[in-house]
Structure 1
Amino acid sequence: MAGRISTQPTAIYHPKNHHHSSLCSLSPSSGTKVSLRFSLGSRLYSSLKLTAISEHPSKTVASAQYGNTMPSQDVIEIWRNADVVCFDVDSTVCIDEGIDELADFCGAGESVAEWTARAMGGSVPFEVALAARLSLFKPSLSQVQDFLERRPPRISPGIHDLINKLRAKKAEIYLISGGFRQMIEVSNGLPLGSDFILYTCLKHPVAAQLGIPRENIFANRLLFRSSGEFDGFDEAEPTSRSGGKASAIRHIKKVHQYRTLVMVGDGATDLEARKPGGADLFICYGGIQLRPSVAAAADWLVLDFNELCAGLE
């Protein structure tokens, strides 16, 4: 059809070595903004400005500040006997906040990161923050493709081992993300009326690296017109709004009749999954971003996935 872009994705090179190293230290002063630069393979680029309060403290400091770094026996029992474990993606399964990195690539990193901090801290509804962030830079199809080629998602250290241990205990694994499917899974592009949903075919997408099937993924979709122009996001996805992760979890439990479900994540939308009828346990992973209000309300706060591995033994 004239004017419609091709629906066939192109394989994109994913570098084997994507080491992450911070080249500065953070001040412990609450609210202080610092600039970080990261070395990623052969490229060096400036990261977003992050508040120092978001950077996780040491285990010793966290233990003194929060009373939930040592889980109760009840928490351990739920964790060890979980039928299904649902993971957030950005700043949990992956090192980066995908939308912040995409915005940074498109030249709007700082303003978008500020909205992300508010959304993940729970001070604004997620759907408001998502729309506001995307409106600040309106990524085109070509920009998203270029971004994914140059800055593919980076898996968090320890997550592979944790998922392998969970599978050894016969637990089912899901990804429930407020990020975008384009950065998580692989499929063909799908036309949707006058719009176009892009699934970019990464050589090593996040879900494929972790062996997670598409039916076990809940995430948002970016929409594009046939010209490749940005055309919003799919508002039908439950994770596009506040309370959406709780809705996704209720759906998972109802359809599959799971007895015990655990949610692992870093943000307010992950904590929301702990609502009645939702997750039986919420574990806050603060190894990348530690959000105080979320950490304090969690059933268990961990800074390293090795802590969760040890809890399974």
Structure 2
Amino acid sequence: MTQQVIFHVPSDISLTLAMQALPLAERRLLPAEQGPAFVGSNALTRTAWPLTKASPVLRQAKVPFRCHAPGITLDKLTELLAGWAWSELGWRQADTFDIWFESAPDKAQYLERAEHLGLELMPGPFPSLAEPGLLIMDMDSTAIEGECIDDIAELAGCGQAVAEVTARAMRGELDFAQSLTERVAKLAATPTEVLEKVAENIRYTPGIEGLVKRLQEAGWQTALVSGGFTFFAHRVQEHLGLDWAEANVLEIVDGKLSGKVLGTIVDAAFKKTMLMRLRDQAGLPPGQVIALGDGANDLLMLGAAGLGVAYHGKPKVRQQAGGAIVSLDMQALQAMLEPVSG
């Protein structure tokens, strides 16, 4: 078998621009002793780049990853891949590409590098937008910015006490149901006008509206399952046009919170059960389900999805979830789901 001749190009060249200068079949990189290199071709020699012949490193392509790296240059790509047993890189579209590894890199290390370099890297396989699917997501700090219960507490004058409990619960240090009951009790006698004010100031996570719209256009079902409250979840559902929304119900008596939650508490087990129910009733394979969350109470749901993504999650969550967004926003996930550009 004839070994391919490969070449280095100047390391300050944008990876995307370099790929777009080549025919589709040639938009790939192979490992060399001095970093990523292009396969020699007529198209490559017709560019104005100075080419340096490289010494190839032969490895098997076993473990697929996907990367979204806006504006990344070849030298930054070399920094990302340094010391890892990668075997091939293939361009998909815009700033997104697939990387195959002979063996998967250490998770803590690749998340640290992704955060340092301002990009996203996560393992596959990824679902297909050409097939039906399901997106199910948490609300607070995932679909929207911030935690509604903390915002209520701040306006009610007990912000610090509630925020401390929220943070511990999201890190997995407290039982979620117990912590929720404790936090809601502190909100007793808070007028509903406070809830209205919080609802008026909901800020959607950057990129979430585009991601949801793109999946809906592809025929996907969309759902929200939140350990927060229906008072806000139903408004988010309406704004995003979601098919389902489940959350906890605050008891309101005479226009004020009673300090109690009605009915079944939406905890980690509830979230996983809802994912499985929606998946099964739609007849979807697990690989066509995406779950998004940030807290410890999302881990069971993330684990049950074909692609479970921790969105700027707590350290425990992003380490245990299949994928993680650590640097950018939901636009990065949308880009990673898009098909290969023709």
TM interval, short-chain normalised: 0.5 to 0.7
Q: Residue 62 and residue 225 in structure 1: after superposition, are their counterparts in 2 closer, same or farther (change >3 A)?
A: farther
Q: Would you say 1:133 and 2:183 are equivalent positions?
A: yes
Cα deviation, residue 65, structure 1: 8.1
Counterpart-to-counterpart distance in 2, 1:296 and 1:234: 33
Instruction: Name whichever of 125-134 and 151-160 sits farther off.
Output: 151-160
Match of 1:177 in 2: 226
Match of 1:294 in 2: 317
Tell me which of 91, 95, 98 is aligned to 2:148: 98
Give secondary structure in 2 for the equivalent of 1:90: coil
Q: Would you say 1:310 and 2:335 are equivalent positions?
A: yes
Cα deviation, residue 118, structure 1: 1.1
Tell me which of 64, 71, 79 is aligned to 2:122: 71
Q: TM-score, normalised by structure 2?
A: 0.59
Alignment of 1:1-313 (within 5 A): 61=112, 63=114, 69-74=120-125, 76-77=126-127, 83-148=133-198, 151-185=200-234, 205-213=235-243, 216-226=244-254, 228-237=256-265, 239=266, 241-259=267-285, 260-275=288-303, 278-286=304-312, 290-302=313-325, 303-313=328-338
**Contact between 1:94 and 1:155, CA under 8 Å: does it hold in 2?**
yes
**Contact between 1:105 and 1:147, CA under 8 Å: does it hold in 2?**
no
Give secondary structure in 1 for the equivalent of 2:206: coil
Higher RCO, Cα 8 Å, sep 6+: 1
**Contact between 1:112 and 1:133, CA under 8 Å: does it hold in 2?**
yes
Cα deviation, residue 282, structure 1: 0.9
Aligned-residue RMSD, C-alpha: 2.7
**Contact between 1:95 and 1:154, CA under 8 Å: does it hold in 2?**
yes
Using the aligned pairs only, state the percent identity. Answer: 26
Q: TM-score, normalised by structure 1?
A: 0.64
Counterpart-to-counterpart distance in 2, 1:228 and 1:271: 33
Residue by residue, what CA displacement relative to the aligned partner does 1:161-217 show, whole Å, maximum 9, x if unpaired? 1111112221111011111110121xxxxxxxxxxxxxxxxxxx322221124xx11
Cα deviation, residue 63, structure 1: 2.2
Counterpart-to-counterpart distance in 2, 1:80 and 1:265: 24
Counterpart-to-counterpart distance in 2, 1:73 and 1:60: 15
How many residues of Structure 1 are paired with residues of Structure 2 in the alignment? 224
Counterpart-to-counterpart distance in 2, 1:183 and 1:64: 31
Cα deviation, residue 119, structure 1: 1.0
Counterpart-to-counterpart distance in 2, 1:78 and 1:131: 40
Runs (5+) with no aligned partner, structure 2 = 1-109
Q: Residue 80 and residue 157 in structure 1: after superposition, are their counterparts in 2 closer, same or farther (change >3 A)?
A: farther
